[in-house]
Structure formats: C-alpha cells, structure tokens
A and B are shown apart, each in its own frame.
Chain A
Amino acid sequence: MTQKLIVIGAGMATGRVLEHLTDANVDIEITLINAEPRGNYNRIMLSPVLSGDKTYTEIVTHDDAWYAERNVTCRFGQKITAIDRTAKTVTTDAGDTLDYDKLLFGTGSNPFMIPLPGHDLEGVIAYRDLDDTNRMMDMTGGNKVVVIGGGLLGLEAAAGMAARGVDVSVVHIMGHLMERQLDEAAGYLLRKALVKKGITVHCQANSKEILGEDGHVKALLLDDGTELPCDLLVMAVGIRPNVKLAQDAGIAVGKGIHVDDQMLTSDADVLAVGECVEHNGAIFGLVAPLYDQAKVAAATLMNEPATFVQKELSTKLKVTGCDLFSAGDFADGEGREDIVFRDPARGVYRRLVLENNVVIGAVMYGDTADSNWFFGMIREKTDISDMRETLIFGPAYQGGSTADPLSAVAALPRDAEICGCNGICKGQIEDAITAGATDLEAVRAVTKASGSCGTCTGLVEQVLAVTLGDEFVIPAAASICGCTDMTHEDVRRMIKSQELKTMPAVWQECGWKTSCGCHVCRPALNFYLLADWPLEYRDDPQSRFINERKHANIQKDGTFSVVPRMWGGITTPDELRAIADAADKYMVPTVKVTGGQRIDLLGVKGEDLPAIWSDLNKAGMVSGHAYSKGLRTVKTCVGTDHCRFGTQDSTGLGIKLEKTLWGSWTPHKLKLAVSGCPRNCAEATCKDIGIICVDSGYQISIGGAAGMDLRETKLLTQAPTEDEAMEVIKAVTQLYRENAKYLDRIYKWMAKVGLDWITEQVEDLENRAALAARFELSQSVYRKDPWAEHVTEKAQTYQPLADLTLEAAE
C-alpha cells in the first residue's frame, strides 16, 4: 500500500529528504506544505542575492518542474492550523483536511526579535527569508539602515546592503564581532575589513529603544544616548527553533522538537529534521548536520537502519569577502598553550590551542587555506610534538627532518614578500646579504627592508640567520614583555602611525604572541592608547594595576589608603573635620601627613571605599590620585600672601596648576612644586616639574627626582607671565605623555631624548600651543573625580559577590 507522507516546511533539510526519497524511487505519496508562497531554495545563499551577486532564480534548489517530475504535491502559501495525531490528519488554513501515514516536521526556526520599545514599528524586520531580503534590496544609496546583531547573519545583511551603497551601521552588544566563532583578535580584523567597506560598527552597544514617526521606524536609540537614524532596522540577533505547531499537537519539545537518533519524535509516525529539532540537548544552525539529519530521516522513512551522530563542527565562512575559520575549543586554559601567528601586512591571523600536544581548537582569519588540515588534526587528535615548532605554518612546512623555527623562513620562496611597506622580497634581502650586508642595519641601508614600520625586523633577522648560519646571532632587543618582540618605542610608533585604537588592534598589527597580553604589557598599552586617542579609546580598568582600578593604594595586608586632594596643600577647618569624622567612622588605624602636603588615611577596608569617598565628596573633596601614574600633587610654599620674601603668588599658581592637570594619566607619577622665591621652600628642584618664582617671572625646570635616584631639575625655559607658565607646563606634560616609555619618569625620558629637544619643542610657539591644546582635549575626558564616579556607578563592585558564611556553617 502506498504510504502518504506530509512534509511541513520547504527548507534546506526537508528539501534534502525529498531528494533522498525520490531518488530511491520508493512507493510514497508526498505532499509538501509551505507557509512561504514558494518552494525550496538555498537559504544560505540569500546573502549573495542581497549583495546582487546572484538572483533568486539561481538559488532555487527545486523548481516546479522538479516537483512535477517527482510527483510531489505542493501546497505553497498554506499554513497548517491543526494536527490530529489519532485520526492522522492535518488541517490547512485553506480548509482542507489531509490524511497521512507519516508526518515530517521541517518548520525551521523563527528569528528572535528583541522586545525593545518600538520593535513593532513598520520598517523593523528580521533577516530570515526572501521577503526580508527583498525589503533590504529596496534600500538604495540615499538610505540608512541599522542592523542589530554582529553575528554572521547580521554582518552578511550589513555587507550586502553596503555593497548596494546603503549607509549601514551595525550595533553589537558584545565586545567584538562574531564572538561565538572568533576570538578578539580575529574579531578586530573582521571589524577593520567591514569599516573599510564603509560600514559603521558599534560594539558593546546596548539598544534602548526604536524610535518611530507616523508608525514607521526613524532611528535606533542606544543607552548611551547615541541616536542612529535609519529607514530600515534589521534585527539579526539569533534564531529560536519553531516548535509551536509540534507543541500544539502534543509532541515532546524542549528548546526544539525532541528527536532520537532516527529523527523520530515522541510520536513514532512523526519525524523532524533541521533547525526545529533538538537532539541530545543540541540544536542546529549550520547546514552540514542538517544534511546528515535529512539522510537519516529519509532512511527511517524507508525502513532502513540509520543513526544520526553529532560531529565535531568547524565553521568556515566567508563574511563579506573575508575568509574565516574556527573549530573546536579555543578558550584559554590551564595546561593549554597558544601558538599564534600574525602577518600584519596581509591581515592574516592564526591561532592554535594545544593541550597535551594535541590541537584542540583553531581560529583562522584572512587565510584559511590550511583549515582542513588543522581541522583534521583536531578530529584525529594527532600528536603534534614532533612538529610543534613549525605547526602554525601549516602542512607545507611539515615533514622536514629539522624542527627548526627558522626552517619556515628558510622554506619561503625567493619572491616571498618580507617587508610589506617597501615591497622587499626574501630574494632581494638574500642578495644584499651575499653582497656583504651582514647585519640588520646594513640590510636596512641597502634594501630599506624593515626600515619603515619595523614590524618585519624579526623576519629580516631570521633571513640573515638562515643565510649566514652561525655567523649571525639574532640580537635580543629589549621587548616590552614575553608577549611581543617589539620595544615600547616601536609599539608607540605603530599605535600612532597605523592609527591603532584598540588593544586587539595593537596585538594584531604588532604581532603579539599571546592572545590577550599579560600584566606587564596591558597597563602599558592601556596608557599608550588613552594618551594617543583620548576620544576614541575607552580606558580598560581590567588592564590597570589594582591601585588605579580601585583608585586607592593597596597596602601589604590588602587594605587601602585614601588620600583626598588638597589643592596646592591648602585646606580648611571644615575639610579637616570631615577627614577626622571619616577616620572615626571607618575606624582608620593610621592618619598620616604626606610629603605632598595632604593627609593619608591608611588601613581602609576595600568594601568601605565607596562609603568613605562618598563622605569625603560631600565635604567637597575629591580623589588625590595618590595611587596613579598621573598627576599627584602640586606642592607650594605660601608665596606673596604671607611670606616676606615671596616674589609671586606661588600658592595660587600651584592651585591653578593642580586644578588644570588633575586626573591626567602620564607614563609614570608626576609631581610638581611651586616655590615663591629661590629659597625654594617647596623643594621644587627635586620634582618632575618644578617652578621657581622670581621677580621677572617663572623659571620652569624639569627632570627632578627624590626616590631611588636623586636628581636635580634642569631649566627648561623661563616664562614672564603666569598664563605662559601654565601653557608651557601643559605642553611639556603632553610631550611627555605622547613620547615617553611607560614607567619612565621625566628624568629618564629626558636622558633618552635630551633636554635640548624638549626645550626646542616647547619653545616653538605654534607647537607649544598645539601640545597644550591636545592636553586640554584629553583632559576634557579625564579631568573628573573617579571617586564620585565609582560611588554612583560602581559601588556594588566593591562588595563581596556573595556571603556564604551562613551556608557553609550549615
């Protein structure tokens, strides 16, 4: 007897089931019902349709002729309203009731719509089917579109519309794009590629509300107040298996429709395949497992044995022309090691995660040619101990007898480009070496290789080592830390010249060897980025030493010290009373007067910090930054106000300076002092910047120290007026911020660049004004009280996450 099969949904999985069944020529009568008014098409090819690379007809997998030839009855544009599993019938919205022997669910998934205010406005769509695609294709050059979601689907929608000249912004809640498939570094490269295509990318962006006008979407409002105008808003934030119909029919569902290894649901006459199913707790979005399911379902329908097995999955994608690959588990871990390869010039990033000499995860960006080989190693759990030195270079470099890291360079062809800036190939460098250039400087002089951005210096040295053998020893440059071979100076130059504005950008373009840096390089990079890009870069508290993260000095017992600012060392009875009250209230064990003319409250518990700050704030006091690599104090003497020798208002200038400079971050701590006369009671000549007032104006000297090293300041310049003194001091501070190595005090920096150079820079009036203006720009972000900010926004983070003392006692 002919079996009757009803298939619900014409998707990629059910399409494949139909192929298997009709190829096998089994005696089965098939009816295909689809809510969309069309048959099976290749849904994953919607992106090329959107970008205009393909037409809809090119992505149709089964056309009318195909269904006719295979005797498949089609009911397109019809929905099933009810299923009666006892009578074994389905009822459609056209009013027909149809019998079945077997029923196959392929209801796919529904796009998840974030229930933001305004999500039901006209012009807010998902990206799921041809109708959505057509809506996006209606957008043209004059239109603006916002895409919420920086996953695969969202980015493809964005790129497709950008290719049509539409002004597209992507809004993504996570810190980097496609965070499920990619790590931070690859996410950075992807973002860079998208930005190049004219797409605006907002990461860590929370959508707050969709704004409309006359019932139509007008803009997306982010919770930081940014308003992104748009004519169309595409939500591509995820999908949910579509289980409604199955659930209504009383079939067991969880996240998806429950199926066993034979793709049978809780009803033995009902099967399900595709994105709507849940198998062993997993749901499916990629096409490969869907095709496996289709094969199993077809076999089950034909009474043949078959079992669906979930396989290790890899994702190999082309997003907007960028090749991406990820597979396995690429989280960091104890006992796990990273091998990272970056080729900044080509925009290539590769990361392998190893555990017990086995590759367990891989992320590749830009060049995925070897991805199958790496994926094979993950699946086979190949022992890679014999090839780990050259593993990252891929299969082309394996099989040699020597496992020498240089062999990869040795294996490069003569026309392989070494220096991307100057277009210098390996052969040219070899020729130069043969002609007598036997060290880096000589090679650089002859060929210019590594003479521009310098990132290929290591490679050039390796070519030298390979060519000269033992005659050449690669010099060990003082790199920032083990994460990189580059020096602080090199990295600072790269940040400026390549306009690197995020940490992942620096890691990639400077070839970092670790995935996310360490406690040595991260604080340095955080400073360089905020100093060079004050408006673009956002300070990363997690890359700061605890004192700067918690705005207090950690003590040896884990308590903290709190030092409120006393501008120029001037205080009032009210302030002193507030400090005394705080000391009592928080049981501060030690109250000490500091060398910087203020009061230190030592031994405050970490969890009390926000409360004591709040009390001090109420009395008008702010953070003294006694903990920071930034402006500490401006020490003063009493000057003309009281002193019979004073020549200028040294206290007034000190207060002005402190109010101008406070909150600024510098490579190391920055201490100033202003003395009212050459008797120098404020000890200005051992400060980083010292000002001595004289009758004719202000002598500004720099580079003093009174710590491990003892240094007397050297005269930088003399300023006739207070205003000019202020400008010089702002300019020299900015020059120090822009050029010095992290953790170099001014005297160390001065020893490297020379006082003459510094003087030249600040005595050039145009340059001085520009430096002072850049300082002011940075201060527009940083001149604020971190205590007040933490009290209102972060107080909770100072408390324990949980108190288990009661639970543990039970």
Chain B
Amino acid sequence: MSAWIDIAALEDVPKRGARLVKTEMGCVAIFRTVEDEVFALDNACPHKNGPLSEGIVHGKAVTCPLHNWVISLETGTVQGMDEGQVAAYPARVAEGRILLDATLLSERAVA
C-alpha cells in the first residue's frame, strides 16, 4: 500500500531543475521536468556518487554534474554507453503539491 506524503509545492522546484529531500538514509533528489512531471531518485550517481540534484535536466533525464553520466529520471537507469542504476521512488503531483511514497522510502531505510 502506498502512503503519499506531501513534500512541497510544485513551484518550489524549478522547471528542468531539482531539490533535495533529506531522509534517514540519505538524500533523495526531486526533479521537475519542463512538462511539470516530478521524479525522485537517490541523490548519488552510480559512477562516483555525484549529486544528481545539481545536474542539468533535459527531457526525462538528468546529466550528473561530475562526469556527465546521463540518468533516466523514470527508472534511474544510466543511459548511453555507461552502465549503472540508481534507486527511483514513486512521486507524483496532485493539486499543485509534490507527493512522495512514504512506504518505499521507509522500506529503503530498512533495506
């Protein structure tokens, strides 16, 4: 069962940008695309733990600021020639608010 928790207003994250949410087990990056969809990924690139929230968002992908790895916002899979995976969490927008699935975040804390 999912338990959606209200994180912030959509407007608090810039279009083609990201903000951080602190969790018990580390930071989760919340991304907003130009089409106003939101996605949540662990804030650590599978390559060298680069802070993905600081990357450039394009389409539904983010480019890590450290070494330009491109990561899918939807699946957390590394695109192109590089290989890797970063955890992705359910996130959605409802009535202008960003919601995160608390269940998955706590499962992650347990894991």
The interface of chain A, by Cβ under 8 A from chain B, is 175, 183-184, 330-336, 338, 514-519, 522-523, 541-546, 549-550, 554, 556-558, 606, 797, 800-805, 807-809
Contact = CB atoms under 8 A, between A and B. Distances in A.
A523 B56 CA distance: 9
B14 A808 contact: no
B61 to A, nearest CB: 8
A336 B59 CA distance: 10
Contact of A801 (B8, B50, B72, B109): B8
> Most B CB atoms within 10 A — which of A522, A546, A804?
A804
Contact of B19 (A331, A518, A797, A805): A797
Interface string B2-26: 0001011000111111011111110
B60 A807 contact: no
Given A332-B59, A335-B74, A803-B22, A558 B7 contact: no
What's the interface size class on B, roughly? 35 or more
B66 A518 contact: no
B16 A542 contact: yes
Given A556-B48, A801-B20, A333 B37 contact: yes
B72 A332 contact: no
B22 to A, nearest CB: 4
A504 to B, nearest CB: 10
Given A541-B14, A545-B56, 17 more contacts: A331-B35, A333-B74, A336-B60, A338-B59, A516-B16, A516-B34, A518-B59, A519-B56, A543-B56, A554-B65, A558-B51, A800-B27, A801-B7, A801-B30, A804-B22, A804-B100, A808-B24
18 contacts: A183-B35, A330-B35, A334-B60, A336-B60, A514-B58, A514-B59, A515-B59, A516-B34, A519-B70, A522-B58, A542-B57, A546-B54, A554-B54, A556-B66, A803-B21, A804-B22, A804-B102, A805-B22
Contact of A334 (B50, B54, B74): B74
Given A516-B58, A517-B58, A554-B54, A801 B34 contact: no
A542 B15 contact: yes
A554 B22 contact: no
B46 interface: no
A4 B34 CA distance: 53
B12 A801 contact: yes
A334 B105 contact: no
A519 B56 CA distance: 6
Contacts of B65: 545-546, 554
A332 B33 contact: yes
Given A542-B15, A802-B22, A332 B34 contact: yes
A804 B34 contact: no
Given A542-B14, A797-B19, A800-B21, A334 B56 contact: no
Contacts of A522: 56, 58
A330 B20 CA distance: 27
B73 A807 contact: no
A334 B75 contact: yes
B100 to A, nearest CB: 8
Contacts of B33: 331-332
3 A-B pairs closest in CB distance: A334-B74, A519-B63, A331-B35
Contact of B34 (A184, A549, A797, A807): A184
A512 to B, nearest CB: 12
A57 B13 CA distance: 50
A797 B24 CA distance: 21
A515 to B, nearest CB: 7
Given A334-B73, A519-B56, A558 B24 contact: no
A519 B21 contact: no
